[in-house]
Structure 1
Amino acid sequence: MRGGREVDITIFGATGFVGKLIAGYLARSGTGLTIALAGRSQDRLEAVRSSFGGRANKWPLVIADVDQPGSLDAMASRSRLVLNAVGPYTRYGPPVVAACAGAGTDYIDLTGEVPFVRRSIDQSHGTAQDTGARIVHSCGFDSIPSDLTVYALSRRAAADGTGELGETTLVLRDYSGGYAGGSVATMVDLMRLTSSDAEVRRMLDDPYSLSPDRAAEPDLGHQVDLPLLPGQAIAPELAGLWTSGYVMALYNTRCVRRSNALMEWAYGRSFHYTETLIMGSFPGAALAGAMFNAGITTASRFGGHYLRLLPTGLVDRMTPAAGTGNDMGSRGHYRVETYATTTTGRRYRATIAQPADPGYSATAVLAGESALALVLDRDRLPDRHGVLTPASAMGDVLLDRLPAAGVTFETVSLP
């Protein structure tokens, strides 16, 4: 028993596709930690546990359901950390966060949902600070590459004495992977919310909607979520390419700006952050990027209206079930480059890459290492509690852990 809790890490949603991948990663980690598998079905949990063999055969199983708050409280109170793999989080996440915040239990998830995180901040930040819990959202492909590359750039600039970060742009250079059923369900839920809830639309219009103190944020003018830019406007190294908006920028940019504020604007008060996607250099790349941006805007703002025109229940029947995935779980790759110019004019680039599917096996590594960082490296973590981000909760520790887990990470000065 460690830290007064009988379980080191509980994976809630362990029978889902990504939950099983994370459990498998932790089973292979060789840490000797006690891992519990949690969900609604004893039979399905037993089947997942038996698939790992070895020490995992002794892992405890926990029956827990978001519709039974007492089961969530019991799960949280016996665990040092709960890894929540049950989405869509806007629908299912708040009671899990509340249980962990109340029990002083650390928590991580894989969310990329602005409304859920805003609700988590409003309802659980204060409680988690009081109990000493770290509630760390977005510990998968969303949003560790975004959050950690910017954090690394800031650390490098500070070490070199070259000022704070100014114009900073993430570029998704390469991506190959699939989408889990839970991810599709999340997108459908968000389209419905955006079309019917004026407050959600306001959050998506506000670049600082996840800020701990909105009034304290700098006024940098209009900040575009879905830019259409020639590569050379970002960095000379990208000359000849066109970039478009990146759909996850609607969440990731707000997560990164929250990190800056939680760390007392360590990136700078003139930090201006954008995320983009490489479209290519082919004729018509600019037009393709413009159409891509228009499609994202239409889907995010008006998709819910179109969904309501369809027969009742049809969309839910067509949407892959949450917890399902495909064989892309063992394939795929990504490469992210983040470019920054400091207030003294120095340029830097941070790169993160994995030879794994971003939504599946890559996320399992990122989430698994986040959980291990919070449990095994507590003495090295910043003294911050409440609703945090990966960078503000685990920045240096994750930068140290990820390369040993097969994640390529590099920060370089550019001419």
Structure 2
Amino acid sequence: MSNEREFDVVIFGATGFTGKLVAEYFQAQYGSDDNVKWAVAGRNEAKLNGVKKELGISESVASIVADGDDDDALNALTKRTAVVLTTVGPYQIYGEKLLSACVDNGTGYTDLCGEPAWMHQMINKYEAKAKETGANIVFSCGFDSVPFDLGVYYLQEHAKKQSGDVIEYVKGRVRKMQGTFSGGTAASLKATMAAAHKDKSVMAA
């Protein structure tokens, strides 16, 4: 990638369960690629460096210390990179300050959020400004969307080849899956249920 900023991508929350998996993927894909400039970020520098050592990530990959509740740190971080990839949830509790900083600084934002009501609120609140600053905001790039987005894309491409047209309505469901919920997913569900208990419009959204 090429841009004016110091980094192409910063992985925010790289010491958590999912963040570590993302860092491991980046190391495998871009570890020795000088064309992709990436960094890891989180609250604790020692833990960030520990993840890098464990995964064999070069010291040339920066460790950026930033707390999700520190406006100044988030502002500084988002000015340094083209995109922030965050795994720090529940997003309705920890996500808005980072999203706001990205919007303010025209920085791309992506997450793996599975909290539709929060996403709905954030789109209503930040879409206009994001269009002004050029910040591309892409929610839900995890299990909640990937199989369905790719499944619909595959299905529509097949439909176009067969009939020359797309299908107007597609419905999907999960019949079986392996593994269990991560702690972050469980916390997101708990936060969503608590929000819905306080505000009935949350479930409608």
- What is the TM-score with the length of structure 2 in the denominator? 0.91
| Counterpart Cα distance in 2 of 1:168 and 1:46 | 44
Map residues 255-274 of structure 1 onto 2, 5 A cutoff. none
| Counterpart Cα distance in 2 of 1:184 and 1:130 | 35
User: What SS class does the counterpart of residue 81 from structure 1 fall into?
Assistant: strand
Task: Specify the code of the residue in structure 2 equivalent to 1:5.
Answer: R
| Counterpart Cα distance in 1 of 2:169 and 2:97 | 38
Q: Structure 1 3/115 Cα, relative in aligned 2: closer, same or farther at 3 Å?
A: same
| Counterpart Cα distance in 2 of 1:130 and 1:43 | 37
* Greater Rg over alpha carbons, structure: 1
User: What SS class does the counterpart of residue 67 from structure 1 fall into?
Assistant: coil
Which residue in 2 is equivalent to 1:116? 118
The runs of 5 or more residues in structure 2 that have no matched partner are none
Task: Specify the code of the residue in structure 1 equivalent to 2:27.
Answer: A
Which residue in 2 is equivalent to 1:352? none
Task: Specify the code of the residue in structure 2 equivalent to 1:104.
Answer: G
Match of 1:35 among 33, 38, 58: 38
| Counterpart Cα distance in 1 of 2:121 and 2:168 | 30
Task: Specify the code of the residue in structure 2 equivalent to 1:23.
Answer: A
Matched, 1:51 2:51: no
Which residue in 2 is equivalent to 1:68? 70
Task: Specify the code of the residue in structure 2 equivalent to 1:52.
Answer: L
Residues 93 and 116 in structure 1, CA contact (< 8 A), matched pair in contact too: no
Deviation at 1:177, TM superposition (A): 0.8
Deviation at 1:187, TM superposition (A): 1.1
Which one has the bigger strand percentage? 1
Matched, 1:163 2:160: no
User: What SS class does the counterpart of residue 194 from structure 1 fall into?
Assistant: helix
| Counterpart Cα distance in 1 of 2:39 and 2:101 | 17
Deviation at 1:164, TM superposition (A): 3.5
Map residues 1-150 of structure 1 onto 2, 5 A cutoff. 2-30=2-30, 31-32=33-34, 33-53=36-56, 56-150=58-152
Q: Deviations over 1:186-212 (max 9, x none)?
A: 111111111111221331xxxxxxxxx
Deviation at 1:120, TM superposition (A): 1.5
Task: Specify the code of the residue in structure 1 equivalent to 2:105.
Answer: A
Higher relative contact order (CA 8 A, sep 6+): 1
Q: Deviations over 1:49-106 (max 9, x none)?
A: 111225x221111111122111111111100110011000011111111111221111
Q: Deviations over 1:239-259 (max 9, x none)?
A: xxxxxxxxxxxxxxxxxxxxx
Deviation at 1:173, TM superposition (A): 4.1
The runs of 5 or more residues in structure 1 that have no matched partner are 204-415
Deviation at 1:14, TM superposition (A): 0.6
| Counterpart Cα distance in 2 of 1:187 and 1:174 | 19
Which residue in 1 is equivalent to 2:178? 176
Deviation at 1:172, TM superposition (A): 2.4
Q: Deviations over 1:5-57 (max 9, x none)?
A: 11111011111011011101100113432221111111111111111225x22
| Aligned alpha-carbon RMSD (Å) | 1.8
Deviation at 1:162, TM superposition (A): 4.3
- Total equivalences in the alignment: 202
Deviation at 1:179, TM superposition (A): 1.6
Residues 65 and 71 in structure 1, CA contact (< 8 A), matched pair in contact too: yes
Q: Structure 1 167/77 Cα, relative in aligned 2: closer, same or farther at 3 Å?
A: closer
Q: Deviations over 1:368-399 (max 9, x none)?
A: xxxxxxxxxxxxxxxxxxxxxxxxxxxxxxxx
| Counterpart Cα distance in 2 of 1:199 and 1:142 | 21
- What is the TM-score with the length of structure 1 in the denominator? 0.46
Residues 117 and 203 in structure 2, CA contact (< 8 A), matched pair in contact too: no
Task: Specify the code of the residue in structure 2 equivalent to 1:11.
Answer: I
Task: Specify the code of the residue in structure 1 equivalent to 2:118.
Answer: F
Match of 1:200 among 190, 199, 202: 202
| Counterpart Cα distance in 2 of 1:90 and 1:112 | 10
Q: Structure 1 48/199 Cα, relative in aligned 2: closer, same or farther at 3 Å?
A: same
Task: Specify the code of the residue in structure 1 equivalent to 2:82.
Answer: R
